[in-house]
Chains A and B, each alone.
Chain A
Amino acid sequence: MFITDYIKDVFGAMKSLGTGLKRTLYYFTHHKEIITQQYPDNRATLVLPDRFKGEVVMPHDEKNEHRCTGCTACELACPNGTIKVVTKFDITPEGKKKKAIDKLVYHLELCTMCNLCIVACPSDAIKMAQTFEHSVFDRSQLTKVLNKPGSKIMEGVE
């Protein structure tokens, strides 16, 4: 009896190994099932979803105007101190002083892409960009100023 059980075990084992190997061989011969993406080579065709959280950017229109009022809601919402809003006072044509941003400093190296600043912004001035290749040679390049030089606040945004 022992011998028959032993032989059964051996053949059962061979069968189970064969079942697994059949699956491996199936993929070996069916190249259409391969889903690997050739990443650095497919950069030109690579499309990321529009909600992907890559980095914070401030969109500017063609007149070099942005929507940021300098209310510091994003700075308060940020858990890591990633955003620093530096404000200044502009003189309006009527001669009044008006608060505006001088610089919106963004530390990419501290950012965890938690999206809280985007949600907090009342005037939709900042959004997430779909970039993800953030490596640079020097960490000082990761500190960015989001508003472009010479940019102004858009008309009608309070």
Chain B
Amino acid sequence: MFEEVAKTAEGDLVINVGPQHPATHGVLHLLITLNGETIKKVEPHLGYIHRSIEKMCESLTYRQFIYVTSRMDYLSAHINNHACALCVEKGMQIEVPDRAKVIRVLMDELTRIASHELWWGAMAMDLGAFTPFFHAFRERETINDIMEETCGARLTMNYMVPGGVMQDLHPDFQRRVKEFLVLYKRKIHEYDEMVTGNIIFQNRMKGVGYISPEDVISYGVTGPAARGSGVSSDIRKLYPYEIYDKLQFDEVLETAGDSFARYLVRLREMDQSIRIVEQLIDNIPEGDFQAKTKAVLKLPKGEFYTRVETARGELGVYIVSEGGTTPYRIKFRSPGFSNLSALDHMVRGGKLGDLVASMGTLDLVIPDIDR
């Protein structure tokens, strides 16, 4: 953990957390200035897992570049692919069949549940509880099996294509999802029993990592981290895409602004995703799963931007096209990067042990930050 211990002119300790550290969930390098145990400054150093995904996309066609985006935020791979497919469809004005829209929303919400499950387990493990990790993975495994059956992969699916989805749903899909819904309802109370109600956990989370609504807006924090401070930021509600405007679900808001509020937002968001899945699972319309598209996709000259709500916040895809078969420039506005920028503000003046609690509730995925 401590690669190098240095002292500043005022006698403060400067320590490195990461890039290889179990609490950072990846290669995140934090340079922390400490006065005793109090944090004076946190400086994230990025670039350890930079793969130049945006540059790679410039040499790939509009069908090919989608698979790379699964590797950005690998826990919400479907939603990343979805954002890219939406942007290409917007440029080419492809009308997506109803069945494909419903399949996409179903997959997005299952991905969101899986992502939050993993976050919940990892969050509890950061704070020293090991058992919840296995409980979270038990439910997540069921979703992974569903994905594996329909999309053919467990993590990097590449299922969304411009115009719809790659393959039709597996015949067993509806049965498997209904089984999952039963399992989820039977097990979700364990989450509250084991972690949410635990007094040690609550004392470590409450009042830690506070961020005000004004700071949330000025740092550009989105997703559950923003909703924990009472800032309405759900793209599904504010700028509905696909069929989200026809669905019944609530935007989860908490006003406390601390780590515990962000924790509760994520936990209750899973219930809202379950609500969406329940509404759609019996109402999948018949029809094509993919619109008829040309063999070679060419976007007209211009700039196109779409945004979706991933499990971590707002993902924006910005494509500049010169009219050819490959994009001239692609920019991804990833939620993790903006959320990480607020970390220094959250933990400054707090204790070193609280850093992990604040960082855990931001749900950082490092490949998403570096790209």
Contact = CB atoms under 8 A, between A and B. Distances in A.
A and B interact physically: yes
A71 B171 CA distance: 32
A52 B150 CA distance: 8
A119 B167 CA distance: 9
Interface string B51-70: 00000000010011101100
A157 B226 CA distance: 58
Contacts of B60: 79
A77 B63 contact: yes
Interface in A19-42: 19-20, 22-24, 35
Contacts of B148: 48-49, 51-52
B178 to A, nearest CB: 18
Given A53-B152, A79-B60, A16 B198 contact: yes
Interface residues of B, number: 29
A22 B150 CA distance: 37
Interface stretch (B188-196, B227-235, B354-362): B188-196
Given A20-B194, A24-B131, A35-B141, A112 B152 contact: no
A17 interface: yes
B151 interface: yes
Contact of A23 (B150, B151, B193, B200): B193
B198 A20 contact: yes
A17 B198 contact: yes
Contacts of B256: none
B138 A53 contact: no
Contact of A16 (B65, B153, B166, B199): B199
B303 interface: no
Contact of A79 (B64, B138, B141): B64
B193 A35 contact: no
B149 interface: yes
Given A16-B199, A49-B148, A79-B60, A116 B141 contact: no
A87 interface: no
B158 interface: yes
Interface in B132-158: 138, 141, 148-153, 156, 158
A46 interface: no
Contacts of B156: 112-113
Given A35-B138, A77-B63, A114-B67, A51 B198 contact: no
Contacts of B152: 49, 51-53, 113, 115, 128
B289 to A, nearest CB: 12
Nearest to B64: A79
Contacts of A48: 148
Contact of A116 (B64, B190, B200): B64
Given A13-B199, A79-B60, A51 B67 contact: no
Nearest to A113: B153
B192 to A, nearest CB: 9
Q: Which 4 A-B pairs have the closest CB atoms?
A: A79-B64, A13-B199, A114-B67, A53-B152
Interface of B: 60, 63-65, 67-68, 131, 138, 141, 148-153, 156, 158, 161, 166-167, 170, 190, 193-195, 197-200
Given A23-B194, A119-B161, 8 more contacts: A16-B199, A17-B198, A19-B197, A49-B152, A53-B153, A77-B63, A79-B67, A116-B63
